[in-house]
Amino acid sequence: MGNVDVVQWMITGNCNYHCSHCYLGEDNRMEPDISSLLSYIEYFKDYGIKKVILTGGEPLIRKDLGQLLKALYDANIKVTGIITNGALITKDLLGMLKDFGNDTTFSISYDGDETHDVVRNFKGAKEKTLAAFDLCRKEGFNTASDMTFYRGNAGNLRESIKTLEEHGCSSLKVSPLLMAGNAQKGKLLESLTPTEVLDAFCEYIPFYFVDKIKMKVFLSAYFYGDGQNGIWDIPVERFKMYVDDCDKAMCAKEEKVPFLYIDGRLLPCAGVAGYKEQREKMRKISDGGIEAAMKSPAYAGFMGYTLKEHARSNHDCKECEYLKTCMGGCRIIAGIEDFELHGKDRYFCTYFKNGYLGKVKAAVQLGKSLAALE
């Protein structure tokens, strides 16, 4: 049995939408046949995978989803999550998940009250998405959400968060638009600079407290609020504990969830799916199983990339006073413009060099003071 028990599984590259922002682009639109998926389940069993999070493309578009859910049930593997655009969630699907013993959390993407249809490139997508949240709540399923943050929706974060809370969403992760795939090709959505993203987050934070939001909200790695339990935190500041030792791997992902790509390659995380060059260096699980794929040079090199190696390859970071806290940031974000393992994550860099720790803390204090006045 291996040391991870969960895999995020891209069961199809096909999709019912052609979103303006999709980092996977249009050349990932293919679907493995069911016999390949069933063979992957055998590798899951061999390694000790007990849980899967289904994603895509749009995972609910598969015609043979019932057969897949039955096979997972027979293998005693739970579907703990489904990442979806929500349009294809039906009562029948929810019934089937229950019948196969799953207590699934649906992560239903939502890209803003005014902008969801623009991002999804589909008129009426917002109504479908909000209806999906309602149906899940009615049928007793937990929901979470991911929001892609860009110039178009930065101004209505407060209202969009309230909307999600009203529709029973338990947790939201807001992430800046990655300029990859359709976002890069179509140029229909305008990204924000790192300073604009961080300023918009600081502008919103007081409202999290004033509005007494109960839903958990992650503003990327820069703010985490859990109004239900009265907790807040700045995740990026916690990453440093991973790298006191410069020979330790620096990926700060707290839960290491491998990502099984449509062609059977095991990737270190979902972000790599959008980078053909890196992706194709990874090994297929049919070539020796999950453990062998994780030990392959490309996968192990990515996950085992150390702070020492980073400092050796990036002069600016080597000389930087924040190196041990920042670690150069996330390798995926760093590589966005031109996949480069040794690059800088512009968001982390801006956060540390421009005093955003103080600005986030000040925004929290302001929010708490205003909330106390009410």
**Partner whose footprint covers residue 83, from ligand SF4, ligand SAM, none (CB < 5 to 8 Å by kind):** ligand SAM
Cα-Cα-Cα-Cα dihedral of 112, 113, 118, 123, to 10°? 140
Q: Which residues form the interface with ligand SF4 (CB under 6 A)?
A: 15, 17-19, 22, 24, 56-58, 85, 316-317, 320, 322-323, 326, 328-329, 344-345, 348-349, 352-353
Residue 209 host element (H or E)? helix 194-210
Using the structure block, give the residue that is written with the tokens 């992706």.
Answer: 279
Region of 16-24, 31-39, 73-81, 136-144 interacting with ligand SAM (CB under 6 A): 16-24
Contact call for residue 178 and ligand SAM (CB under 6 A): yes
Show contacts with ligand SAM in window 35-94 (CB under 6 A): 55-56, 58, 83-85
Show contacts with ligand SAM in window 116-175 (CB under 6 A): 146, 148, 175
Which tokens go with 52?
A: 């899967």
Cα(222)–Cα(220) distance, rounded to whole angstroms?
6
Cα(15)–Cα(149) distance, rounded to whole angstroms?
21
Find the shortest distance in angstroms from Cβ 88 to ligand SF4. Answer: 10
DSSP string, 281-306: TSPBTTTT-HHHHHHSHHHHHHHT-B
Size of the site for ligand SAM (CB under 6 A): 19
Find the shortest distance in angstroms from Cβ 149 to ligand SAM. Answer: 8
**Partner whose footprint covers residue 177, from ligand SF4, ligand SAM, none (CB < 5 to 8 Å by kind):** ligand SAM
Using the structure block, give the residue that is written with the tokens 């909000």.
Answer: 130
**Partner whose footprint covers residue 25, from ligand SAM, ligand SF4, none (CB < 5 to 8 Å by kind):** none
Cα(112)–Cα(159) distance, rounded to whole angstroms?
8
**Residue 169: which residues within 8 A CB-CB, separation 6 or more?**
108, 110, 133, 143, 144, 145, 215
Show contacts with ligand SAM in window 180-199 (CB under 6 A): 180, 183
Residues of the shown chain interacting with ligand SAM in the complex, contacts defined by CB under 6 A = 15, 21-24, 55-56, 58, 83-85, 109, 146, 148, 175, 177-178, 180, 183
